[in-house]
Amino acid sequence: MKLLAIFAAASLTGVFPQIDREPRFQFAGSDQLAFQITQGARADVFAAASPKYPEQLYAQGLCSKPAVFATNTVVLAVPRANPAHIHSIYDLRRDGIKLVIGAKGVPIGDYTRTMLAKLDLSSALKNVVSEEDDVKIVVAKVALGEADAGFVYRTDVKPVGNKVFRIAVPAAGQPTVRYELCIPTTSQHPKLAAAFVREVLSPRGRTALRTAGFGLP
């Protein structure tokens, strides 16, 4: 039996298996997945949390023309116990807060930096205690109660809603988070891969994405 290998952004961990539980998934930071594909990894579908990497691969002739399939928003996740008493993202300017964000190059890390700069909140970066390789590790460290706050996607908070609550980012700073997917030229099963892409873009796929809290293009 032919099994597809789907390389998908960590933030798609919950929703992709709901759309199709058949394939083998690898969930990680989009930048790492793109790197693996440039190194020859046999991915059948590449779904990233930003257009940057699919477009780069497309420009290098390493994947098909990318399609937008979902959108998201950045929020601040705070543990329910809220040890640092954070009630607005402007509280992050205070000293002594343990803030966890995505590393540079990881989509959530880049969105976070852009957003903080737009809101004139870059001083919050002094509170960063760790830069993680993908958004799910940021979520995990906040949910564990070890970090005081972390910037993640809205959709990441839902699955850990009993441990974490979210604080909205002002609309003026909200980056445009677009998810794109494409079929790498290394794919062994391009037809099956195209079927998976159609499934994601289908009404059923869109319903699953919307239920998980994603926006739709």
Q: Which residues bind another protein (CB under 8 A)?
A: 31-32, 34-35, 83, 98, 100, 103-105, 128-133, 141, 144-147
- For another protein, the closer of residues 141 and 189 by Cβ is 141
- For another protein, the closer of residues 35 and 119 by Cβ is 35
Write down the least CB distance from residue 98 to another protein, Å: 6
DSSP-assigned letter for residue 22? S
- The CB density around residue 14, as the number of other CB atoms within 10 Å, is 16
Write down the least CB distance from residue 149 to another protein, Å: 12
* String of DSSP letters for 59-108: HTTSBPPPEEEEEE-EEEEEETT-TT---SGGGGGSTT--EEEEPTTSHH
Question: How buried is 43 (Cβ within 10 angstroms: 0-12 exposed, 13-18 middle, 19+ buried)?
Answer: buried
Write down the least CB distance from residue 126 to another protein, Å: 11
Q: CA 139: distance to chain centroid?
A: 11
- For another protein, the closer of residues 70 and 138 by Cβ is 138
Write down the least CB distance from residue 158 to another protein, Å: 22
- For another protein, the closer of residues 21 and 39 by Cβ is 39
Which of 181, 214, 172, 177 lies closest to 200 in space, CA to CA? Answer: 181
Sequence-ordered list of residues with C-beta below 8 angstroms from that of 87, at least 6 positions apart, any chain: 167
CB burial string 171-182: b at 16+ within 10 A, e below: eebbbebbbbbb
Write down the least CB distance from residue 79 to another protein, Å: 9
Q: At what angle do helices 52-59 and 30-38 cross, to 10 degrees?
A: 10
- For another protein, the closer of residues 70 and 100 by Cβ is 100
Write down the least CB distance from residue 129 to another protein, Å: 4
- For another protein, the closer of residues 70 and 124 by Cβ is 124
